[in-house]
A and B are shown apart, each in its own frame.
Chain A
Amino acid sequence: MSDNQSLNIAVIGGGPGGYAAAFLAADLGMSVTLIDPELNPGGVCLYRGCIPSKALLHVAKLLEESHQAKDWGIEFAAPKIDLARLRSWKENVVKKLTGGLGVLSKQRKVKYVQGRAAFENSTTLRVTKTDGSEESLAFDRIVIATGSRPAVVPALKLDTPRMMDSSGGLNLEDIPGTLLVVGGGYIGLELGSVYAALGTRVTVVEMLPGLLPGADRDLVLPLHKRLEKMFDSILLNTTVASVKDEGNGIRGKLKAQDGSEQEKVFDRVLVSVGRKPNAEIPGLEKTGVKAGERGFIQVNKQLQTDDPSIYAIGDVVGEPMLAHKASHEGRVAVEAIAGHKVAFEPNAIPAVVFTDPEVAWCGLTETQAQRENREIKVAKFPWAASGRAITLDRPEGMTKLILDPQTERVLGVGIVGAGAGEMIAEGVLAIEMAALASDVSLTIHPHPTLSETVMEAAEVFFGTSTHIYRPKRG
């Protein structure tokens, strides 16, 4: 086992999965090469995803609250938006974080190669560096962490900067007068919120009958209500039949399920219909790696591919395509390579939508329980009964626990409301530790905070919530 620690490993892709894997490998004493086309590690998450979008969403929230402040007796003049400065602030956030990763990488003596990798065989990579030079490098183990890219819909392909994917949207080239967001998933709603806050009139088109498909409807409802006020319109059961570049805008033909059609010209269109795995690595066919359905690379619970010397982690191996899942997988893969008996076997992976209000959930959802015919008990605590939510003037939130009726174990947690993303971690911990409703209700939560709603939801399960009066039945 100890000889595994002197292994020479390569990680292809410097995203949250890749750099977490590389750093842990280095910490375990392996000699590590990290290959990525960017100047520093970070990947989509830091350069064109989670981080820049959160910076912009922070600004969006500020703008929204400045409007709401009128109700509290504070009135601001209309904001002046210096787009160049906003952009550079966002870019500084990215630079600061990716630069930090570069330093961490050096401190750990990870060999960072700026370039792209191709397989020559199961243990050899041909690396084309950004400066044009090429090099063949041999490794004991290779970890594929190439991530994913925005999915492209052929019918919505136009060669104009007005047509954007999530990366284009985050570039924030201007504040368009009107924006069509195709896809009511979390990326579309987050970026739509940013543009709406900056003054753009946003139209969201979603093919399915609800926003955020997969999430429980009662969690989506408060968000939907608020977005209806922020956005021009939310068109459900609707697809974009065609788009046409008209020079000064893009004409979109929107087709509803009932057959009705409408045409409208938008200044910009944001396509956010999902992501596709980056599994087309040159030379991969020279290895034993196999791809499964939807092009994801096939792996076992140790994240090992069909080729024993190659592991794969993150978006490229499957859903959910989330940075925190990738990092955990990256660490598990490296531990497996080091010879530890480990497996990727979480009981819960949290999902967070950083809109306002935020929507977050983990573990079992009501939708899933229904589909599997699982008997559950649901305990909901409405934020209208939370002191902290009232002080924030955000009473629309809700916290719910999904519990096993027999064991009273917490199986799932769902939260909608301001700051839900921060709060969901308690739910994940409860599920991972196999906490019972009584464990949650007997844990003292600080007052006055939104976190009390988790405790009170557990009290609701026992019918004894302090801030909700429920008359006794019968």
Chain B
Amino acid sequence: MIEFKLPELGENIEQGDLVRLMVAPGATVNTGQSVMELETDKAVVEVPSSVSGTVQEIRVKEGDKIKVGQVIFTVDGAEAKAPAATAAAAAPAPAATPSEQKSVPTPARKETASEQKAQPTAPSEPATSGGGEFKLPELGENISQGDLVRLMVSAGTKVSEGQPVMELETDKAVVEVPSSVTGMVKDVKVKEGEKIKVGQVIFTLEGAAAAVAPARPRNAPVEHVSGQHGARLAFQAAIRAEGKTEEQALPPDQPQQVPAQFSMPAQLGKVAGTEHRQAIPAAPHVRRLARELGVDIYEVKGSGPGGRISEENVKAYAKSLLSAATSAAATPRAGHFAQPQLPDFGKWGDIERVSMRGVRRKTAEHLAEAWNTIPHVTQHDRADITELEQLRARFAPKAEEAGGKMTVTAIALKVCAAALKVFPQFNASIDIEKEEIVYKQYISIGVAADTDRGLLVPVIRDVDKKNIVELAVELSQLSKKAREKKLASGDMEGGTFTITNLGGIGGVGFTPIVNYPEVAILGLSRSRIEPEWINGKFEPRLILPLSLSYDHRLIDGADAARFLRWIAEAFEQPFLLSVQG
């Protein structure tokens, strides 16, 4: 028996309300088939199954709040059979409740009907004969490719479903990719170091036991609304670049098969050419206007009674799409660096061109976005850490015992967590669209790590609830993971503030860039002994230079100065932490 659990849906999405369940006990599901609609904070998304088989038990109800990782249903272990997959692929209507009436075609009846009429069946069938192939599956939202770091199989290797077969470096992390097929590897189609796209064939199989994932049903609704939205923006930008109209570039909707049986003209959802979507609360002329403006009416929120969508709602939505597209076009994006034509560097000497691999490209994109969005100001200050250094040396063995290293960064984590509690606007984000400030009730701090792959920022969660020794241990573990390329993308998400420490290298100060959508970042430089004027004479003191960059939209200069002063004083008098922190 296999369990299907709610998969990760995206950053910061931990749960959702189950709007519609599309399977029932006894239904055949296939990998990739949409099985439910979930309403998250962000949008209603269709969730595809990651398992194949016959549904045995449903563990959730419509209306339930469902958490990531929660079991949705179980399927029996049997592998999905190809003919069933064909029938499922041909059926756009998802509902298959046990109380089916005679007038409703059951999948089985549909099959016999198509057999009797000897209709040409869907193309997925012949794919299974003579073995299968393993293609790079979907890895997550917005991840379309990765660099093959390590291949763990070769011709003749036996693989089974779930077994890791390769390591792939994506923008976000190095991930192990498990096989979705079982059998003997016949032919490996990729090499280490290659860039591999989602859907690309990795290897073919000898054995015939391959559980080939069936082709997605035609007209299957797009999985992630946000993904669809992104695709639309990219599409608009692309066709504009080609100088085409949308008309010329836009392929019409794919033809769709009609269901096998239909007794009376009541089931509009199954009428030829219409998808099985519930009737939208918008008058016909409003729906037509949406089409003319290129708006998916199902994405528009209606402001009228019962959610009725007005002409104004559609226009406003189209406007927001357009402005998003314009700003997206104005912002340098991956592969769309808006920069003047480069000179021919080769004129002046030999050059070498290297592809901007995963992390580098992502860093470029992210920092450019942060720089373009946030009006930056950097505030500098210094902290006298002479006393702290003595304490640090005293307690270092304790941290070491626990498996960590008592570093200035570890202490800075504790100091910042305390400061963020006192100054909550530094632990916030700006939602410009809604004109709201998002104050986070948790404190999770990212720590910039210098790895041979580039800059990575693992996040330590709930920093305020941990003591310095615990933080030191966790920081050591995360740094190790970062160096060993073992960081999962989840390890780098959800931060509310960032610390970057360049003290190990040197420097007297720098202006870090805020890790958007956070609003502030603290930079630490190398501490050094400096003469300080104390009680009428110079004394040698250990001074730590601090640099705080912040989002001036949300934070005023005076507040930033107060915040940084608070941090400096906390370094100077650790007692402050227990009094105010």
- What residues of chain A have their CB less than 8 Å away from a CB belonging to chain B? 1, 185-186, 208-209, 212-215, 290-296, 298-306, 308, 317-322, 325, 336, 339-349, 351, 361, 363-365, 367-368, 370-373, 404, 407-409, 411, 431-434, 436, 438-439
The answer to whether B272 and A319 touch across the interface, beta carbons within 8 angstroms, is: yes
Alpha-carbon distance between A320 and B306 when the two chains are bound, in angstroms: 29
- Chain A residues in 8 Å Cβ range of B305: 407, 436, 438-439
The answer to whether A293 and B287 touch across the interface, beta carbons within 8 angstroms, is: no
The answer to whether B255 and A304 touch across the interface, beta carbons within 8 angstroms, is: yes
B295-318 Cβ-contact flags toward A at 8 Å (1 or 0) = 000000000111111000000000
A132 CB to nearest B CB, Å: 35
Which chain B residues in 431-482 approach chain A with CB under 8 Å? none
Alpha-carbon distance between A351 and B266 when the two chains are bound, in angstroms: 7
The answer to whether B259 and A299 touch across the interface, beta carbons within 8 angstroms, is: no
Given contacts A294-B261, A321-B265, A371-B100, 19 further A-B contacts (CB under 8 A): A186-B264, A292-B258, A293-B113, A298-B256, A298-B258, A299-B255, A299-B272, A301-B252, A319-B270, A320-B266, A341-B292, A346-B268, A346-B274, A349-B271, A364-B279, A365-B266, A368-B266, A404-B306, A409-B306
- Chain A residues in 8 Å Cβ range of B578: none
Interface centre among B119, B254, B281, B282 (most CB of A within 10 A): B281
A292 (CB) vs chain B CBs: closest residue: B257
A32 CB to nearest B CB, Å: 22
- Chain B residues in 8 Å Cβ range of A293: 90, 110, 113-114, 117, 119, 257-260
The answer to whether B294 and A341 touch across the interface, beta carbons within 8 angstroms, is: yes
B398 CB to nearest A CB, Å: 58
Q: Quick check: is B101 within 8 A (CB to CB) of the other chain?
A: yes
- Chain B residues in 8 Å Cβ range of A296: 258, 272
B131 CB to nearest A CB, Å: 29
Alpha-carbon distance between A341 and B62 when the two chains are bound, in angstroms: 36
- Chain A residues in 8 Å Cβ range of B279: 347-348, 363-364, 411, 431
- Chain A residues in 8 Å Cβ range of B142: none
B310 CB to nearest A CB, Å: 10
Q: Quick check: is B393 within 8 A (CB to CB) of the other chain?
A: no
B117 CB to nearest A CB, Å: 7
The answer to whether B273 and A299 touch across the interface, beta carbons within 8 angstroms, is: yes
The answer to whether B308 and A434 touch across the interface, beta carbons within 8 angstroms, is: yes
Alpha-carbon distance between A215 and B267 when the two chains are bound, in angstroms: 10
- Chain A residues in 8 Å Cβ range of B264: 185-186, 212-215, 320, 351
Alpha-carbon distance between A347 and B306 when the two chains are bound, in angstroms: 16
- Chain B residues in 8 Å Cβ range of A342: 288, 291
- Chain B residues in 8 Å Cβ range of A299: 255-256, 272-273
Q: Quick check: is B103 within 8 A (CB to CB) of the other chain?
A: yes
Alpha-carbon distance between A306 and B62 when the two chains are bound, in angstroms: 38
A126 CB to nearest B CB, Å: 25
**Given contacts A292-B257, A296-B272, A299-B255, A432 and B117 within 8 Å (CB-CB):** no
The answer to whether B247 and A339 touch across the interface, beta carbons within 8 angstroms, is: yes
The answer to whether A432 and B272 touch across the interface, beta carbons within 8 angstroms, is: no
Alpha-carbon distance between A325 and B266 when the two chains are bound, in angstroms: 12
The answer to whether A344 and B255 touch across the interface, beta carbons within 8 angstroms, is: no
**Given contacts A322-B265, A431-B279, A300 and B273 within 8 Å (CB-CB):** yes
B252 CB to nearest A CB, Å: 5
Q: Quick check: is B408 within 8 A (CB to CB) of the other chain?
A: no
Which chain B residues in 145-161 approach chain A with CB under 8 Å? none
Alpha-carbon distance between A208 and B103 when the two chains are bound, in angstroms: 9
**Given contacts A213-B263, A368-B266, A371-B100, A407 and B258 within 8 Å (CB-CB):** no
The answer to whether B291 and A370 touch across the interface, beta carbons within 8 angstroms, is: no
Q: Quick check: is B352 within 8 A (CB to CB) of the other chain?
A: no
B277-289 Cβ-contact flags toward A at 8 Å (1 or 0) = 0011111100110
A353 (CB) vs chain B CBs: closest residue: B264
The answer to whether A302 and B266 touch across the interface, beta carbons within 8 angstroms, is: no
The answer to whether A318 and B104 touch across the interface, beta carbons within 8 angstroms, is: no
Alpha-carbon distance between A411 and B269 when the two chains are bound, in angstroms: 13
Alpha-carbon distance between A361 and B247 when the two chains are bound, in angstroms: 37
The answer to whether A345 and B265 touch across the interface, beta carbons within 8 angstroms, is: no
The answer to whether A407 and B273 touch across the interface, beta carbons within 8 angstroms, is: no
B309 CB to nearest A CB, Å: 8
The answer to whether A214 and B263 touch across the interface, beta carbons within 8 angstroms, is: yes
The answer to whether A325 and B258 touch across the interface, beta carbons within 8 angstroms, is: no
Per DSSP, chain A at the interface is loop
The answer to whether A409 and B281 touch across the interface, beta carbons within 8 angstroms, is: yes
- What residues of chain B have their CB less than 8 Å away from a CB belonging to chain A? 21, 62, 90, 95, 97, 99-104, 110, 113-114, 117, 119, 247, 252-275, 279-284, 287-288, 291-292, 294, 304-309
- Chain A residues in 8 Å Cβ range of B294: 341
The answer to whether B254 and A318 touch across the interface, beta carbons within 8 angstroms, is: no
A75 CB to nearest B CB, Å: 39
Q: Which of A209, A317, A433 contacts B273 (CB 8 A)?
A: A317
Interface centre among A321, A408, A436 (most CB of B within 10 A): A436
- Chain B residues in 8 Å Cβ range of A407: 281, 305-307
**Given contacts A344-B273, A407-B306, A208 and B102 within 8 Å (CB-CB):** yes
- Chain A residues in 8 Å Cβ range of B102: 208-209, 213
The answer to whether A301 and B260 touch across the interface, beta carbons within 8 angstroms, is: no
Alpha-carbon distance between A299 and B257 when the two chains are bound, in angstroms: 8
Q: Which of B110, B113, B274 contacts A301 (CB 8 A)?
A: B274
**Given contacts A294-B113, A371-B95, A434 and B257 within 8 Å (CB-CB):** no
A351 (CB) vs chain B CBs: closest residue: B265
- Chain A residues in 8 Å Cβ range of B104: 371
Q: Which of B110, B119, B252, B268 contacts A302 (CB 8 A)?
A: B252
- Chain A residues in 8 Å Cβ range of B255: 290, 292, 298-300, 304-306
Interface centre among A214, A351, A434 (most CB of B within 10 A): A434
Alpha-carbon distance between A339 and B102 when the two chains are bound, in angstroms: 42
**Given contacts A300-B255, A320-B264, A371-B101, A408 and B306 within 8 Å (CB-CB):** yes
A134 CB to nearest B CB, Å: 31
Alpha-carbon distance between A290 and B122 when the two chains are bound, in angstroms: 12
B309 (CB) vs chain A CBs: closest residue: A434
Alpha-carbon distance between A342 and B293 when the two chains are bound, in angstroms: 11
B22 (CB) vs chain A CBs: closest residue: A372
The answer to whether A348 and B268 touch across the interface, beta carbons within 8 angstroms, is: yes
A336 CB to nearest B CB, Å: 8
The answer to whether A372 and B281 touch across the interface, beta carbons within 8 angstroms, is: no
Alpha-carbon distance between A434 and B278 when the two chains are bound, in angstroms: 12
Alpha-carbon distance between A344 and B247 when the two chains are bound, in angstroms: 18
Alpha-carbon distance between A451 and B132 when the two chains are bound, in angstroms: 62
Q: Which of A214, A294, A365, A372 contacts B260 (CB 8 A)?
A: A294
Contact sample, A vs B, 16 pairs, CB 8 Å cutoff: A1-B247, A214-B266, A291-B119, A293-B110, A293-B114, A293-B117, A300-B273, A304-B252, A318-B258, A341-B292, A346-B268, A349-B268, A370-B99, A371-B97, A371-B100, A438-B305
Alpha-carbon distance between A363 and B269 when the two chains are bound, in angstroms: 10
Q: Which 7 A-B pairs have the closest CB atoms?
A: A320-B265, A214-B264, A318-B272, A407-B306, A434-B281, A319-B262, A347-B279
**Given contacts A299-B255, A306-B255, A434 and B282 within 8 Å (CB-CB):** yes
A412 CB to nearest B CB, Å: 9
Q: Which of A215, A290, A370, A438 contacts B266 (CB 8 A)?
A: A215
A407 (CB) vs chain B CBs: closest residue: B306
The answer to whether B95 and A367 touch across the interface, beta carbons within 8 angstroms, is: no
Q: Which of B90, B117, B253, B308 contacts A343 (CB 8 A)?
A: B253
The answer to whether B268 and A373 touch across the interface, beta carbons within 8 angstroms, is: no
The answer to whether A300 and B266 touch across the interface, beta carbons within 8 angstroms, is: no
- Chain A residues in 8 Å Cβ range of B247: 1, 339
B289 (CB) vs chain A CBs: closest residue: A341
- Chain B residues in 8 Å Cβ range of A294: 113, 117, 258, 260-262
Alpha-carbon distance between A33 and B294 when the two chains are bound, in angstroms: 32
B102 CB to nearest A CB, Å: 6
B248 CB to nearest A CB, Å: 11
- Chain A residues in 8 Å Cβ range of B273: 299-301, 303, 317-318, 343-344
A372 (CB) vs chain B CBs: closest residue: B95
A188 CB to nearest B CB, Å: 13
- Chain A residues in 8 Å Cβ range of B281: 407, 409, 434
B294 (CB) vs chain A CBs: closest residue: A341
